[in-house]
């Protein structure tokens, strides 16, 4: 396969849709970094500390561990532990023993941490509000495209955690053909349509094992 020029080579990028998509996604990533930096500066927090507080506010207990944060944000446990220690020193996070594993600790927000996290959690609302120009069909199409891109990046090892319906062992694809909700969640026993597919589901179970066993009843796009 012939190697294409870098995405940033404008003489190539101008006529290559894939490169322009990557450049546009990178520009959006810059916007997210700016928003995180701004809200963090206001409260004396680093961008990753802002993300950790929001994560701990909404994720279930099973994910609220140093190892869970390290996996979700693809950081080393040492880096996560340092950031968590800083949040502890600010009185925003506390650790408590995990009764199921004494070697581990569950991370909880303190009352102050919870109040602050609720304010910080609005950091991406500007981006969401900016989507108002598009209709539901267009947004649904983009959502489907982005979820499939996340699947491909997970296959490539770039993304390690993607708790989406498309990568879940309970996802049944196209089992209700010809209906507005062609897919099905076997865990919740609920039909799923393009707009009800989840991007981050707390009940997610990775589909890798089911796929490797070749079970046709456990279909995902991973």
What tokens does 128 get? 């969401």
Beta bridge partners of 191: 184
Q: What is the CA radius of gyration of the chain?
A: 20
Q: Which range marks the domain in which residue 106 is found?
A: 1-133
Give the number of domains in the chain: 2
Kindly state whether residue 221 falls inside one of the protein's structural domains: no
Do residue 91 and residue 147 come from a single domain? no
| ∠ Cα 36 60 201 (to 5°) | 80
The predicted pLDDT at position 211 comes to 39
The tens-digit pLDDT sequence of the chain (222 residues) is 678 999 999 999 999 999 999 999 999 999 999 999 999 999 999 999 999 999 999 999 989 999 999 999 999 999 999 999 999 999 999 999 988 777 789 999 999 999 999 999 999 999 999 999 999 999 999 999 999 999 999 889 898 878 899 999 999 999 999 999 999 999 999 999 999 999 999 888 887 633 332 333 444 444
Do residue 52 and residue 85 come from a single domain? yes
The predicted pLDDT at position 127 comes to 96
Do residue 127 and residue 149 come from a single domain? no
CATH of the domain at 39: 1.10.10.10
Kindly state whether residue 164 falls inside one of the protein's structural domains: yes
The predicted pLDDT at position 222 comes to 41
Kindly state whether residue 220 falls inside one of the protein's structural domains: no
Enumerate the H helices of the chain as residue ranges: 10-13, 17-43, 47-58, 66-73, 77-89, 111-120, 125-129, 136-155, 208-212
State the first-to-last Cα distance of the chain, in angstroms, to the nearest integer: 24
The predicted pLDDT at position 100 comes to 77
- State the pairing for strand pair 171-172/101-109: unpaired
Do residue 9 and residue 35 come from a single domain? yes
State how far the Cα of 154 lies from the Cα of 23, in Å rounded to an integer.
20
State how far the Cα of 67 lies from the Cα of 64, in Å rounded to an integer.
8
Boundary (domain end) residue, out of 133, 150, 175: 133
Do residue 128 and residue 59 come from a single domain? yes
Boundary (domain end) residue, out of 118, 133, 148: 133
* C-alpha to C-alpha distances, 75 to 13, 83, 127, 161, 175, nearest whole angstrom: 31, 11, 25, 12, 38
Boundary (domain end) residue, out of 133, 151, 183: 133
């Amino acid at each position: 396969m012939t190697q294409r020029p870098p995405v940033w080579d404008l003489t190539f990028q101008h006529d290559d849709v894939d490169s322009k998509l990557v450049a546009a996604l990178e520009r959006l990533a810059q916007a997210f970094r700016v928003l995180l930096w701004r809200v963090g500066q206001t409260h004396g927090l680093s961008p990753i500390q802002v993300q950790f507080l929001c994560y701990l506010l909404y994720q279930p207990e099973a994910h609220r561990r140093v190892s869970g944060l390290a996996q979700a944000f693809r950081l080393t446990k040492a880096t996560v532990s340092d950031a968590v220690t800083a949040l502890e020193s600010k009185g925003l996070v506390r650790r408590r023993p995990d009764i199921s594993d004494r070697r581990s600790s569950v991370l909880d927000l303190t009352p102050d941490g919870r109040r602050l996290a609720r304010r910080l959690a609005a950091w991406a609302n500007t981006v969401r509000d900016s989507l108002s120009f598009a209709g539901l069909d267009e947004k649904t199409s983009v959502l489907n495209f982005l979820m499939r891109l996340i699947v491909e990046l997970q296959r490539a090892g770039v993304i390690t955690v993607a708790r989406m319906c498309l990568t879940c062992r309970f996802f049944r694809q196209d089992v209700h053909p010809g209906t507005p909700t062609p897919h099905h969640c076997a865990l919740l026993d609920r039909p799923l349509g393009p707009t009800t597919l989840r991007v981050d589901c707390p009940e997610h179970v990775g589909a890798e094992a089911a796929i490797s066993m070749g079970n046709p009843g456990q279909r995902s796009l991973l």
